[in-house]
Chains A and B, each alone.
Chain A
Amino acid sequence: MNADILVIGGGLHGLSAALQSARRGASVILVERHFLGRHASGATAAGVRTLGRDPAELPLSLEAAGMWHEMAELVSDDCGFTACGQLQVAEDEAALSKIKARVRALQSKGFMHETMIGLEEMQELVPDLSPHCLGGAWVSGDGSADPHRTICAFRDAALRAGVEIHEECLVTGLQRRNDRWQAQTSRGVFEASIIVNAGGAWADQVAALAGEPVQQSIRTSMMVVTERTQTRVKPVVSSLGKKLSFKQTAQGTMVIGGGSQGRLAADRQSASVDFVALAASVGAAVRLFPKTKGLRIVRTWAGMEAMTRDHLPVIGFSRGAPGLIHAFGFSGHGFQLVPSVGRVVADLACKGQTRHDLGAFDVERLSKERAAA
């Protein structure tokens, strides 16, 4: 089986890169070892957030924000995205001054997406918010999407664009011969000029197969979903310094995340929920929204996602392996970046370059060889 581009990993970043490459006329095969969206893409809180982003990610994040607002143009579906706004509250004076400093610094560089809001405006936006909150940063164009609907929309668009998708297809070997990659998989041998490594929590294994060992760890962020409730919380709410993000879905359930970590199994293939650690996020949620105390939890889980030392992703060409493009290591905040990173990876795969400065995302900073030297 031959193609111009072989994408390894059927999460949203793999799908987005495959879709946008195929739109540029490339022949694309995507392989996924389980089913599409099995890990981080299906386990995400699906926050569409520019708020609080690392400045290095902001150009990609702001481009993505624009694309989320026009998502139907990319995948013929809005992916359940609603621009309900994202609010980061300060629960004490120290948090408030940190938020103020950040927003000031952003604005001095010309980034005007975050604004400070006071107590009154906050109470208006989120009437059920506990009155001890002092103020916060607000991005009205941020919001959240439906992760499963997003996966289906990207899959369907990719299929329509001609991407060939193979699920339950595990890559076991990668060789470069005569300027082409040969990939051994559980479903036969695939050949392509370019390989995109969108392997998520297992991207380091893909990189190792291609001869470029990288240092990466695995995040196992936990999430909680409650029963449906009448309470209405419109924006996505987080609290500076607390492991908390809180939102209400279109179905009426409350989704609580924010980065409390579960337990990673010894074989690094699965993660499980640690309820004592989870209590930190849930406790923070109940303090912000006292009315939710009696809500019953229906489901919790621990997702799996690649994490880098500096929490920034790896995006760009490999330093050691020609024809290998990385797109992994989103460290728990990659969902919003899916449309723009897919655009950048498609540029690299189809044209060999992109107008974006990818310096901060260079794989070299995670190179195991450099660490050893």
Chain B
Amino acid sequence: MTYDVVVIGAGPAGMSAAIQLRKAGIAVAAVDEQAAPGGQIWRGVERNAGPVSAALGADYQKGATLVEAFRDSGAEYLPATQVWQIEEGWNLFLTSEGKARRIKARAVLLANGAQERPVPFPGWTLPGVMTVGAAQILLKSGGMLPEGEVWIAGAGPLPLLYATQVLGLEGRIAGFLDTSKRPGLAALSSLPGAWRDIPGLLKGVRWLWDLKRSGRMVRGFSDLHAEGEGRLQHLQWRAGNEQRKVRADVLLVHEGVVPRIHETMALGCVHDWNSDQNYFSARLDQWGETSRPGLFVAGDAGGIGGWLAATLSGEIAALGIARYLGGSPDADSLRREAGLDERLSRARALRPFLDALYPPPAEHLADEVVVCRCEEVTAGQIRAVAKVSAPDPNAVKAATRCGMGPCQGRQCGYTVQALVAEVHGLPLADVSFFNIRPPLKPVTLGEIAALGDLEEA
């Protein structure tokens, strides 16, 4: 099957782009891993109602309108489908219901969003420790709340939002270990821009206030340990000269989100380093096109901006794709008339403030902490190898198997990069990332073997 455009991801950016592309009469397939449209932010929005929907808040409910427009857009929607390989030209290899197949496209839009930044610390691999994002998936998927002594540790808008949602559903949070920095000069100096998004800012204040009122808020601590026999039982941290220990059944961690880059990395696109938030993202032109002609990126996958910015960058990329395919000579004027750039800059106004308030964590990693969960490689092993290798994470990968497991370095990539930089005394920006090897998602030998009799299906 050949489409004009294949959009990967049916979240805010992918849905907005698909709708826009259909308006221009372009044949679109939208492939998504989830069973229903909405992405992470609006997961389950068509199904959730009543108190769960109310607790998830106004921004969540806004998703229903876009999902409906997407359903009506005429885009061919392929839910519960994984894209495990993209080859230039463009061939996309998909799996759904245990069957692999190939589709073709003249252009591809990656709107596959972000992932939580993995931050290893002692005990992070214990059962009972999970990410806030994973907990929120459970909440959106079936209104499930964590039980027992529930602690949250981290920084960024998501833990606050999640805590507020839990409290709104009469859940209980035993405590919140806030790892964010006090708003310093850098954050304050970016406020004039931030104030253009007053509703966004007020919401943040309300979350904080709700949380302080309802539970324990811990600030200015260090040396967090999760401990327990076979599963999480206690948390320990140091506050000043004092060692604190509390009982804990669940610890939810979150240190911000970073773009998904495995797809663009695997395709050898040019990437830039974001030194405010310590992540790579594909270099995009003003239409969202990468260094590979015909490959576009929109939404958080191209740099973290939140859902509103994602919808707008999706619309811009759709115009760019129409222009690329030769069907839209008036893309520039459409972009101007819709005021997309002004709206996008308004949607991003709070970002410099958030970046300054929630810098990526930089705590020293103890040698005994496991960095690669798949292959159980510790920070100490990585440092030892990095010392005798060229400053390249791939040399560490080859020598330690770190990043060779099923997650393909999604969990350890940035940590290995940081350790290599530390050992060689280099700035992070000067150290590269793992070479990304296909498949992007695990696929079985049987599925690949069946590709041998592949015809244009």
Which residues of A are at the interface with B, using a C-beta cutoff of 8 A? 32, 34-38, 42, 148, 151-152, 155, 167-168, 224-227, 251, 256, 265, 270, 272-276, 278-280, 282-283, 285-286, 292-301
Contact = CB atoms under 8 A, between A and B. Distances in A.
Contact of A286 (B85, B87, B446): B446
Contacts of B450: 279
Contacts of B398: 37, 42, 148, 151
A23 B220 CA distance: 57
A287 to B, nearest CB: 8
B390 A275 contact: no
B327 interface: no
B399 A152 contact: yes
- A-B pairs with lowest CB-CB distance, top 6: A293-B446, A35-B390, A167-B390, A296-B442, A279-B452, A279-B451
A131 B391 CA distance: 49
Contacts of B390: 32, 34-36, 167-168
Nearest to A41: B398
B204 interface: no
A295 B452 CA distance: 17
A278 B443 CA distance: 13
Interface majority SS on A: helix, strand, loop or mixed? mixed
B443 A296 contact: yes
11 contacts: A34-B392, A35-B394, A38-B395, A168-B392, A256-B445, A273-B438, A275-B93, A293-B446, A296-B406, A299-B437, A299-B439
A148 B452 contact: no
Nearest to A147: B398
B438 A293 contact: no
A38 B452 contact: no
Counting chain B CB atoms within 10 Å of each CB, the highest count among A38, A148, A286, A298 belongs to: A298
B239 interface: no
Interface in B251-278: 268
A285 B448 CA distance: 11
A297 B445 contact: yes
B48 interface: no
A279 B100 CA distance: 12
Contacts of A300: 437-439
Contact of A283 (B404, B405, B438, B452): B452
Contacts, number: 108
B87 A279 contact: no
Interface string B400-421: 0100111010000000000000
A285 B404 CA distance: 22
A275 B451 contact: yes
Contact of A279 (B401, B442, B449): B449
B186 interface: no
B96 interface: no
B438 A275 contact: yes
Contact of A296 (B268, B437, B444, B452): B444
B444 A295 contact: yes
Given A34-B390, A274-B87, A282 B268 contact: no
B34 interface: no
B437 A285 contact: no
A286 B449 contact: yes
B400 to A, nearest CB: 9
A283 B408 contact: no
Nearest to B93: A275
A299 B374 CA distance: 13
A293 B444 contact: yes
A32 B389 CA distance: 12
B454 A276 contact: yes
A314 to B, nearest CB: 26
B454 A297 contact: no
A275 B452 contact: no
B394 A298 contact: no
B454 A279 contact: yes
Nearest to A301: B437
B452 A298 contact: no
Interface in B82-126: 85, 87, 93, 102
Nearest to A293: B446
Nearest to A10: B390
Contact of B445 (A32, A272, A273, A282): A282
B87 A275 contact: yes
